[in-house]
């Protein structure tokens, strides 16, 4: 089962009944946490066994399913706490401060047409919550193959999870092989039927710029607030959260553009396996080339691909930036924008790496009976899958290429 959480805003403030329910729920969670700590249990069922009776008396009119759900939330809090204690991380006894509550799908009703939630508070008392439904939300609300999962209610918004059975992956008719770099995905698209083979590119130059900017800002904050470490820490944390949000937004756009293309062409996507890669460089270089956005991009692509049924293969990137795809020689140096080999082969360094990834995928039997001729990529046509200025490609059928001198 695949799960996707979708955030909805509410069209009005929470009714007072719902507000007091949130407070009751928080109280129940914190009580359950206390009980769980005393009894040294963390599972929802154990908490339920131990505490249900007392809780029933303390919250006599709360809807029973909400009470059980409080045990589940408390169980999660306790498990996190136990994990941290085991790891030896210093942490306080957990206490939930935020107003929130979780309800399983039997505990609420959503009218998917109008976006109205019928939410039970206690016996004989229901509230209606109206969601703000945009075009983005419609995609999920109107899709009958998606079933509703749990609902998380906050004081200003609602998260509804949609569930989907894992779709069958299509049999790829072509391959999109991508090398992941600091500022772009570069690669090749090979379709053995139509014998089309073209270099592709999806650029995200902003990501490195945002990283740099926030890094500078954090450094400045630390200097400015050197006398107050608590404030410095809080401000830096806020900077970090902002940075992640801004970068993730861009990565999602890139991933969507790449996968729309792949889905349209019934392509398999080949990526390098980034796990286990480390850079042996100085601290500064390490940060600049932080792997985080690239790993994040891969995880977004993989997740979205699963949701859409696009097959993704990860291959070992060893030597992919140093090997010559024509003669197989491995070079010592990997510098320079162009890869040049003694045998006469030369190609853009990033594209060259993606060719090597593709060859690895083929030799591992991942790409079926696909054949390709590396020589076909030595012309200068480049197809842009994503351009930060224009967004995704303007021609969704992908038949016409944007001629660009590489």
Q: Is 327 in the site for Zn ion (CB under 5 A)?
A: yes
- Give me the phi and psi of 329, to 5 degrees please: -65, 145
Which of 210, 324 has the CB closer to Zn ion? 324
Q: Is 165 in the site for Zn ion (CB under 5 A)?
A: no
CB of 319: closest distance to Zn ion in angstroms? 13
CB of 331: closest distance to Zn ion in angstroms? 9
Q: State how far the Cα of 305 lies from the Cα of 283, in Å rounded to an integer.
A: 34
Specify the 3-state DSSP secondary structure of 392. strand
Which of 285, 343 has the CB closer to Zn ion? 343
CB proximity list for 115: less than 8 A, separation 6 or greater? 8, 130, 131, 132, 133, 137, 141
54-62, 92-100, 263-271, 329-337 -> range binding Zn ion (CB under 5 A): 329-337
- Quick one: which of 28, 320, 288, 58 has its CA closest to 178? 320
Specify the 3-state DSSP secondary structure of 178. strand
7-15, 45-53, 170-178, 340-348 -> range binding Zn ion (CB under 5 A): 340-348
CB of 316: closest distance to Zn ion in angstroms? 20
CB of 344: closest distance to Zn ion in angstroms? 7
Q: Is 343 in the site for Zn ion (CB under 5 A)?
A: yes
The helix, strand and coil proportions of the chain, stated in percent and rounded to the nearest 5, come to 45, 25, 35
Binding residues for Zn ion, how many (CB under 5 A)? 7
Q: Which of 4, 27, 345, 376 binds Zn ion (CB under 5 A)?
A: 345
32-40, 88-96, 155-163, 323-331 -> range binding Zn ion (CB under 5 A): 323-331
Cα dihedral 323→268→350→365 (10° resolution):
0
Q: Which of 301, 324, 355, 382 binds Zn ion (CB under 5 A)?
A: 324
Q: Is 355 in the site for Zn ion (CB under 5 A)?
A: no
CB of 277: closest distance to Zn ion in angstroms? 25
- Quick one: which of 279, 55, 258, 89 has its CA closest to 182? 279
224-232, 270-278, 345-353, 388-396 -> range binding Zn ion (CB under 5 A): 345-353
CB of 341: closest distance to Zn ion in angstroms? 3
Q: Which of 247, 262, 341, 353 binds Zn ion (CB under 5 A)?
A: 341
Q: Is 368 left (phi over 0), alpha (psi -120 to 50) or beta?
A: left
Strand intervals (E) in 105-257: 109-111, 116-122, 125-130, 147-154, 157-164, 174-180, 184-191, 196-203
63-71, 272-280, 339-347, 358-366 -> range binding Zn ion (CB under 5 A): 339-347
- E strand or H helix that includes residue 312: strand 312-315
CA 40 → CA 14, 36, 51, 70, distances in Å?
Answer: 36, 5, 13, 17
Positions touching Zn ion (CB under 5 A) are: 324, 326-327, 329, 341, 343, 345
């Amino acid at each position: 089962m695949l799960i996707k959480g979708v955030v909805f805003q509410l069209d009005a403030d929470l009714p007072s009944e719902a507000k007091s329910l949130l407070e009751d729920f928080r109280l129940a969670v914190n009580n359950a946490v206390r009980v769980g700590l005393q009894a040294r249990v963390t599972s929802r069922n154990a908490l339920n066994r131990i505490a249900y009776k007392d809780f029933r008396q303390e919250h006599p009119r709360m809807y029973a399913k909400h009470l059980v759900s409080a045990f589940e939330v408390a169980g999660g809090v306790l498990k996190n706490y136990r994990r941290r204690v085991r790891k030896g991380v210093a942490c306080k006894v957990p206490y939930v401060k935020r107003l929130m509550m979780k309800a399983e799908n039997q505990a609420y009703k959503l009218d998917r047409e109008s976006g109205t939630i019928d939410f039970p508070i206690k016996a004989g008392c229901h509230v209606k919550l109206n969601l703000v439904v945009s075009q983005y939300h419609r995609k999920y609300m109107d899709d009958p193959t998606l079933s509703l999962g749990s609902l998380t209610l906050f004081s200003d918004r609602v998260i509804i999870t949609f569930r989907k059975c894992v779709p069958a992956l299509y049999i790829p008719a072509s391959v999109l092989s991508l090398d992941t770099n600091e500022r772009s995905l570069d690669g090749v698209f090979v379709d053995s039927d139509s014998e089309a083979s073209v270099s592709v590119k999806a650029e995200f130059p902003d990501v490195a710029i945002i990283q740099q900017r926030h890094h500078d800002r954090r450094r400045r904050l630390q200097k400015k607030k050197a006398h107050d470490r608590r404030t410095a820490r809080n401000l830096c944390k806020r900077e970090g959260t902002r940075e992640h949000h801004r970068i993730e937004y861009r990565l999602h756009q890139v991933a969507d553009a790449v996968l729309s293309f792949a889905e349209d062409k019934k392509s398999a996507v080949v990526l390098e396996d980034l796990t286990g890669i480390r850079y042996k460089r100085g601290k500064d270089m390490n940060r600049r080339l932080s792997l985080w956005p690239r790993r994040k991009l891969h995880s977004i692509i993989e997740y979205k691909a699963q949701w859409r049924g696009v097959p993704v293969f990860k291959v070992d990137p060893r030597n992919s930036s140093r090997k010559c795809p024509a003669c197989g020689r491995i070079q010592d140096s990997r510098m320079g924008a162009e890869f040049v080999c003694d045998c006469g082969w030369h190609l853009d360094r990033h594209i060259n790496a993606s060719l090597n990834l593709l060859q690895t995928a083929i030799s591992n039997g991942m790409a079926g009976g696909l054949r390709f001729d590396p020589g076909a990529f030595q012309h200068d046509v480049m197809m842009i899958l994503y351009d930060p200025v224009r967004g995704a490609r303007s021609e969704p059928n992908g038949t016409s290429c944007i001629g660009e001198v590489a």
